[in-house]
Amino acid sequence: MNPELFEKYQMFTEKTIYDLSQQVIMLEKKLNIFTNLLEISKYINQYIKDQNLFPLINDMLIGVFGAKYSTIYIKLDNEYLEATPQIFSYSSIEAEKKLILEHHEEEFIINSNMPIYATQNDEESIFSCLGVPIKVNNRLLGFILIQHKEKNYFSKDHATFLSSLGNHVGVAIENNLLYNQIKESAYKDGLTGIFNKRYFFETLGTTPHLIDQNYSIVMVDLDNFKFVNDTYGHPYGDIVLKKVAAIIKNATRPNDIVARYGGEEIIIFFYNFTDKTKVSQRVEAIREEIEKTVIQDEHISSSVTASFGVYIKINEAISLDEVIKKADHNLYVCKRTGKNKVTLS
């Protein structure tokens, strides 16, 4: 054979073999992705009725992507709500929401040499961030953010895989929310419509790593409620309770928990809301709203006040019961020193 022709033939053969091997690699890669998606989908479907579905998915995402953090946001009434509370500062949550909106709620990858934002520990600043929308039938349900402290960590392949995974997550979330809506009806207080004590403790009692999370507990007690019942009657007292519960519920986020603790006591669990100034402002606003609201029923027109005991748990490894006791102690101090105010520690 002509040496020149042989060389061309050899080059052609080598290129063909190389192209075929690349195709095989791509097919294997796609097969691996498909297999992983099936396995992850099976895992998610196992926990479709679990009230801790969001943290479970979150932990799974961190493991699959080898990431430092992951956050799932649910979009309700045009607002993104954090569904997977972590040991993040309030400012970092706001920074993440800002990133979502700045990218017009579409997929994005940020690999930066400068910190994108910092967590509570400055040594764990975020340098890489991957975000994809969660959609079902082109309807935006929320957003997934995966973060890493390493630089240049995420690639387009990561985004493609997470986007495919987001479809499975979206269906699971929608089914989970529907299931929980039905389930929650059994956990509502019959008079006020807020959650009952059973729901409060069952939900938080099964929240993963609650002892390591930062949150605030607020104990609310209506002042002189016995006088209200004795003066105006129990039917009017029931109206007062319903109105106060509605005021408190309207002043909290959907992922917070507001429950009737007993009698005229209401308890609030603020997820990952621990900035002392902001918590104080939020609770004081609730107190003022209760105080200024005139509650009417036929010929009765009156108003009530409430006392608030608040405890902010931040970077403390203490149980929920211990936090409640501390908030309850602050409520006792509040009652003893004048009522109709907020005592916070």
Residue in the block written with tokens 């608040």: 310
Q: How far is CA 137 from the centre of its chain?
A: 23
Single out the catalytic residue among 106, 202, 264, 316: 264
**Is 316 annotated in the active site?**
no
Which helix (DSSP H) or strand (DSSP E) does residue 148 occupy? strand 139-148
Return d(Cα 72, Cα 82) in angstroms, integer.
6
3-state secondary structure (DSSP) of residue 334: helix
Distances (CA, A) of 183 to 76, 187, 199, 212: 19, 7, 10, 27
Count CA within 13 A, CB hemisphere, residue 195.
22
Phi-psi region of 195 (alpha: psi -120 to 50; beta: other; left: phi over 0): beta
Q: Which two tokens stand for residue 228?
A: 């209200």
Q: Which two tokens stand for residue 134?
A: 């969660």
Q: CB–CB of 313/217 below 8 Å?
A: yes
Burial readout 122-160 (b: 16 or more C-beta within 10 A, e: otherwise) = eeebbbbbbbbbbbbeeeebbbbbbbbbeeebbeeebbe
Q: Hey, how many other C-beta atoms are within 10 angstroms of the C-beta on 212? A: 11
Return d(Cα 185, Cα 175) in angstroms, integer.
16
Return d(Cα 271, Cα 216) in angstroms, integer.
7
Radius of gyration of the chain (CA): 27
Cite the active site residues: 264
